[in-house]
């Protein structure tokens, strides 16, 4: 066994995508995520999991930004994204289009991500690194989802949380198709 590089690596991923297609049914909203490193990481994860759209809102930094470009490896150029001042309008629009909105937040009545019966159209909302999603936005969400913590830490970094949940959703979709 050897690691793949260059053209062989590109072919490997292309062949996997052909054999395991996904639907573009996930939208991610970042509400006032403050640190550009997190935003860049989210762009990279959004590309890897092939989300439909990334919405940056509030004080979330946005491209062009040197740190976002570097950490995200320029994925802001291939991930559909836009900026909104607030989240109320995009959440209402998504709900009107049949999306269920999930806060990735440790909140009352939150469920572990693996206990959710994920629908066909999903919007995942992540909030500020220290303060989380605002109460007003949390009230707009259909459910809250969390990742269990067995250590002393109370939460994971938001881009790690997003990666775990997105890949769980993608895996479930692929498992249902096979």
CATH homologous superfamily for the domain 28-177? SPOUT methyltransferase, trefoil knot domain (3.40.1280.10)
Question: pTM for the full model?
Answer: 0.94
Q: How far is CA 51 from CA 85, 146, 158, in A?
A: 21, 20, 16
Which helix (H) or strand (E) is 111 found in, with range?
strand 111-112
Query: Which tens digits make up the pLDDT trace of 14-63?
Result: 999 898 888 669 999 999 999 999 999 999 999 999 999 999 999 999 99
- Residues 6 or more apart whose CB falls under 8 angstroms from that of 91 comprise 29, 101, 123, 125, 137, 140, 141
Query: Which tens digits make up the pLDDT trace of 118-127?
Result: 999 999 999 9
Domain layout of the chain by residue ranges: 28-177
């Amino acid at each position: 066994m050897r690691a793949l590089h260059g053209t062989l690596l590109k072919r490997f991923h292309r062949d996997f995508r052909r054999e395991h297609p996904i639907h573009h049914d996930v939208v991610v909203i970042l509400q006032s995520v403050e640190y550009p490193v997190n935003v860049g990481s989210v762009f990279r994860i959004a590309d890897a999991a092939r989300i439909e759209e990334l919405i940056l809102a509030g004080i979330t930094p946005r491209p062009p930004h040197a740190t976002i470009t570097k950490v995200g490896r320029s994925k802001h150029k291939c991930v559909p994204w836009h900026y909104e001042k607030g989240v109320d309008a995009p959440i209402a629009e998504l709900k009107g289009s049949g999306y269920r909105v999930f806060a990735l937040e440790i909140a009352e009545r939150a469920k572990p991500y693996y206990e959710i019966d994920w629908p066909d159209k999903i919007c995942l909302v992540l909030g500020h690194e220290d303060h989380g999603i605002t109460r007003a936005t949390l009230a707009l969400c259909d459910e809250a989802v969390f990742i269990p913590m067995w250590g002393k830490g109370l939460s994971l970094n938001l881009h790690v949380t997003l990666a775990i949940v997105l890949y769980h959703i993608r895996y479930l979709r692929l498992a249902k198709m096979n």
